[in-house]
Structure 1
Amino acid sequence: MELNIILNLLKVQSLITKKFDGLSLHGISLTDFMILHILSSVPGNRLKRIDLAEGIGLTASGITRIISPMEKMGLVVKEANERDARVSYVKLTSAGERVFKEAKVTATQTSKNMLAGISKNELKVFASHLKGLGGDL
C-alpha cells in the first residue's frame, strides 16, 4: 500500500508538471516558477544557492543549471558573498518579480481548477500530510 501511494504521488507530480508546463506561465517552467516563488517569499528576495536548492528539492549543481538560463532572461542574478567566496546568493530581480506576479495569477487559477473537487477541509488535511513528507513551501 505504501509503495503504491509513493508511486501514485510520483505519477500525480508528473501530471501536474505537464499541465503547468503546457500553460503560458509567461515563458517560464514550473520549476522556474517555484524558484521565483521561494525567492519572492524570503527577506531581501535572496537565498544562498545551496538553501535554494534544498528548498526546491534539488542538488546545488542542479539549481546552478536551472539558474543560468533564468539569469540570462534577467529573472535572477547571482551575488557573491563578501565574507566567503565559496558562498553565492541567488537574488530575484525586479523583472523576475514582475514575471512571477503575472505567472502567479495563472498558476493560482490552474491550481484551483485542478483541486476544485476537494473540500477545503480535505485540502487542509492533505496539505498537512504533504508537509509531513517534506512539502513545506
Structure 2
Amino acid sequence: MTQAHHPLSLDFFLRLSHAQALLAARLDDRLGTLHGISCGDFQLLTQLGRAPGARLRRSELAERVALSPAGVTRMLQPLEKIGLVARQPDPHDARLGYAALTPAGRAMLPAATETAHMICQRALHTAPPEQLGAFAAMLGQLAGMPAPVV
C-alpha cells in the first residue's frame, strides 16, 4: 500500500472530526446553560480577548476561527444583541470595522473560559500532559497556528 493511500491518515481525520463534534456538543451544552453562549461564540470571544485592545477586524477574526467574513458577521450579530461584542468603526477607513469585546464581554469571558477549561480537562483527563502538548503542536501545525503558550 502506498503512503498516499495509507488508511491511518483517513482514520485520524475521522476520529478527530468525531472527537471535535462530541467535545463541541459538551461545550455548547455547558456554555449555553451557564453563560448563554455556544462553543462557536466562545471561540470568537476568546480570539477577541486575546487580541490587542480586545478587538480585531472582522477579516482577521474570520481568519483566526477559520470562517468566512460573512460567517463571522452572522455569528457576531447575536453577541452584539446581548451586549458582549460591539462594532467599532475604523477611524481611517469607513469600509473597515472592528469587532470588540464590550465591558460585559470582558467580564463574562473569564468565567466562560473556566467552564470550557473544566469540560476540556474532564474530556482529556486520561491523556498524559506530554501527549497533549505534542498533539496540540501537531494540530497547530496542521492549522498553521503558532505553538501553544504553556
The equivalent position to 1:7 in structure 2, one of 8, 14, 18, is 14
Contact 1:25–1:107 (Cα < 8 Å) also in 2: no
Higher gyration radius (CA): 2
State the 1:25 CA deviation. Answer: 4.1
Distance 1:54 1:25 in 2: 28
Task: Name the SS of the counterpart of 2:126 in structure 1.
Answer: coil
Q: Which runs of 5+ in 2 are unaligned?
A: 1-7
Tell me what 2:91 maps to.
82
What SS does the aligned partner of 1:121 have?
helix
Matches within 5 A, 1:20-39: 20-23=27-30, 24-39=33-48
What secondary structure, in the 3-state scheme, does the structure 2 residue paired with 1:89 have? strand
Equivalent in the alignment of 2:78: 69
> Match of 2:55?
46
Instruction: Identify the residue that residue 5 of structure 2 maps to in structure 1.
Output: none
Q: What does the per-residue CA deviation read over 1:68-101, in whole Å, with 9 as the maximum and x for residues that have no partner? A: 1100000000111121122110000110011111
What TM-score, normalized to structure 2?
A: 0.87
Number of residue-to-residue matches in the alignment: 137
Matched with 2:25 is: 18
SS of the residue 2:91 aligns to = coil
Query: Are 1:124 and 2:133 an aligned pair?
Result: yes
Distance in 1 of aligned mates of 2:143 and 2:100: 24
Structure 1 runs of 4+ with >2 Å offset:
none
Tell me, which stretches of 5 or more residues in structure 1 are unaligned? none
Aligned counterparts, 1:89-128, within 5 A: 89-128=98-137
Contact 1:46–1:91 (Cα < 8 Å) also in 2: yes
What SS does the aligned partner of 2:143 have?
Answer: coil
Matched position secondary structure for 1:74? coil
**How high is the TM-score relative to the length of structure 1?**
0.94
C-alpha RMSD over aligned residues? 1.3
Deviation for aligned residue 1:29 = 0.4
Q: RCO greater where, 1 or 2, for CA within 8 Å and sep 6 or more?
A: 1
Q: Kindly indicate whether the alpha-carbon contact (under 8 Å) linking 2:23 and 2:120 is maintained by their aligned counterparts in 1.
A: no
